[in-house]
Amino acid sequence: MMENYINNRKGIVIPISNTVLLPGVVSKLRISSLSEEQLTALEDEHTVNIALPMKQNFGQQALKEEDFYRIGVSFQVNEIEEIERGFQLTIKTIERIESKTLYIEDELIFTDYDVCPDADDINEKSLEEMLSYIKRVTHEISAKFVGGERYSKIIDDFKDLNSMIVYLSQFLLISNEEKYELLKIQSMKERSLRFMDYLMKQKEIIELQIQLDEKFSEKANKYYRESVLREHLRAIQEELNEGKDEDSKKSKDYLSKIEEAGMPSDIKEAALEELDKMQAQGPNGSEYNVIRNYLDLLVQLPWKKEEATPINLGEARRILDEQHYGLEKVKDRIIQHLAVMQLKNDKKGSILLLVGPPGTGKTSLGRSIADALDRKYIRLSLGGIRDEAEIRGHRRTYVGAMPGRILQSIRKAGKSNPVMILDEVDKLMTGGYSGDPASALLEVLDPEQNNTFTDHYLDLPYDLSDVFFIATANSTESIPGPLLDRMEVIQISSYTIDEKFHIAKNYLIPSVLEEHGLTKAQLTVEDEVLHQIITDYTLEAGVRGLKKQLAALARVTSEKIVSSKVEVPYKVKIEQLDDLLGRKVSRHDRAQDDNPPGVVTGLAWTPVGGEILFIEATDMPGSGEVMLTGKLGDVMKESARISLSLLKSRLPLNAVNFKERDLHIHVPSGAVPKDGPSAGIGLFTALASLVTGFKVDSKLAMTGEITLRGAVLPIGGLKEKLIGAQRAGITKVLIPKDNVIDLKDVPEEVKNQLTVIPVETIEDVLKETLGISLPRIEHVLPQSARAVIEGTIMTAQQAENNSFNTRT
């Protein structure tokens, strides 16, 4: 039987797992079970035995060919010893083999194989260096363990590299796959390098583990030492009656603060319970500092109600007028609110929301109100807040918990009735994983609920009804409806040029001079220079940019004065502005000297004020296509389609053959987004002017939404639009009739320079712009169009007569 095996290179497979076997090494194998056939084969000295590694340990289950790796070793059995759990084989490996096929006969696993000897690619000198290196590293590792010298002595006797690798691999934390890699590598040089990698990783793991153990042991010893010393200190203090006195002193201190804080009875009861917990914990307790921080908040919050002091409305008006120019409507509303507060016995009232463009004085109005009421002023910037805990605080169960910003601000103010500015409330980040801060504000800003506001950290009701809340926003669009419903909106519109001039002269210039260490005797800005800066170097609704330009002048002046380049006082002249401030940043459109047919002037609202815009329409031979350009929004595109449909419906039949003409409507500037329905009458008039060939007065502008039935609907932002029209040189403006009531908000100096005409229908629009009416529009059409109309009218009359005769 054996002769057959040798000639055909067949062998009996002994499955092994999690073991490193290399050629030419005497080693011991532990096998959990062997069948009688396997024992017989192993004891037969003529049998070729193959140790073939398994990919994982499958136990007693039936093995398949794919469960084995392909590279193994042939071996001869020196001794078989039966042990408690299986058998122990003393073997000597002979050579590397590669299994080709596996199959089972008589309950034995056989394999056809090829011999794959190791590649002897390492010289004697390199072999000695590798052995020496591995022994040195092994000695370093062994030195870190008690009794490791015994193993290092065994290593010193090894002269064969494979034997050393097999011996040391049993102590390394390497996987079954990594052990198989050592057998799979045919090159002795590569195998030794791979094993050295495994050995170095093991060394680093052991060193890291020892360092961690040392640190942990050091901390544990330190903690134990401190605990023992603390216990000894407590025993000594108790013996000398010192510790109890100190704890008692702290408790009495908190007790007196609780008594003096003026807390409601239920709050006081909760505070005393927390004080009892802190006393029971002791300074070394795990929650001692948490309870102490909580008690600090309780005793620092202003619980006592402030006495109601009379509000001097005259003084309040004086302060508002002194600190803010214009804004008469806003000031009147604030004074009215203060008057209601004076008359009401309970202090519940509406919460104000100041809405307007940036730089119009919303935040500074809050400070003025605080000065007028002689109250503490608090400002909370809500822009970008995305976490509900910023408003309501964190629960005390979290590490590093703290109260919300509402209670923190009131604690800082030390009064229960401050004026609290909630700045940029429209820029809250609503929704998300951290809760909704806008929803948390619902309770804060509801006069019916905020008298029992509950912060998560405080976990007790706190009365916010005495706080005068003033919110600010640039727009109400992003404010959730329920939150907006709890506030009374006061609109702050953009400043006129005249208002900006007075604000700059009376407020901004003195402030800028003081900030830059200058006086009026050192820098003088003439009125015409100030007007030029406002019109050419700012493009905004407020005055923040204007202050920046004045600050730029102040910086230049400071440098010139310090360098002795100019004489004092330094007067800024108009021709110097280009050198001092650079190129002009404001390029407002101006009314043209002449508008050709198809071109009209409209009015637009922007966040930085009103502007005029030109609406251009032209036609060309084509197939009835309508092109809209100028970066128009969906609403404005719809207005253009409504205008065209309305014009077609009002023209006599076949007056203009739109099927053979392409229409192109354009609104400059093309890079600026434009949207809104207020350009409706402008679009309609541009198309009517194009069809009739009549020009529209270049000094006439218009604004209004139109419907398919020809009605002109009201629009918003009338004040800003008329200011922009007056600045652009417009003399006549068409507005919707329903907007006449809004003219009272327009400054008198603007209304005095404009002729404002209310219109109700598109017939009124055409009468004011083209001097025609729709029923007579055929008389102003080109001759060819009139011929078509006359033919159409005759045909229509004949059809009507025939219909009448038939009915008769």
Q: What are the binding residues for ATP?
A: 356-363
8 A C-beta contact, residue 453 and residue 461 = yes
Helices 243-260, 188-240: axis angle to 10 degrees equals 80
- How far the first Cα of the chain sits from its last, in Å, is 128
Give strand ranges (E) for 426-529: 453-454, 461-462, 468-473, 487-491, 523-525
> Which residue stretches of 563-675 are H helix?
577-581, 634-650
d(CA 673, CA 534): 25
What does R_g of the chain's alpha carbons equal in angstroms? 47
Is-cis flag, bond preceding 714, omega within 30?
no
Cα diameter, the chain: 135
Instruction: Give yes or no for a contact between 371 and 322, defined as CB atoms under 8 angstroms apart.
Output: no
Spacing of C-alpha 668 from chain mean position: 34
Active site residue 678: yes
Annotation marks residue 565 as catalytic: no
| 255 SS3 class | helix
CA dihedral 74→75→80→82, nearest 10 degrees, is -40
CA dihedral (631, 635, 638, 644) in degrees, to 10, reads -70
Round to whole Å and give the CA distance between 443 and 464. 10
Comparing CA positions, the residue from 292, 299, 293, 289 lying closest to residue 256 is 299
Helix (H) or strand (E) holding 29: strand 26-31
Q: Are 720 and 676 in contact (CB under 8 A)?
A: no
Binding-site positions: 356-363
The b-or-e profile of 583-620 (16+ CB within 10 A means b, else e) is eeeeeebebeeebebbbbbbbbbbebbbbbbbbbbbbe
- Looking at residue 117, its amino acid is P
Distance CA 511, CA 76 (A): 102
Quick check: 553 and 580 in contact, CB under 8 A?
yes
At 212, which helix (H) or strand (E)? helix 188-240
SS3 767: helix
Question: Which among 678, 689, 698, 719 is annotated as catalytic?
Answer: 678
Compute the residue count for the chain: 808
Q: 677: closest CA among 705, 642, 702, 712?
A: 705
Catalytic residues: 678, 721
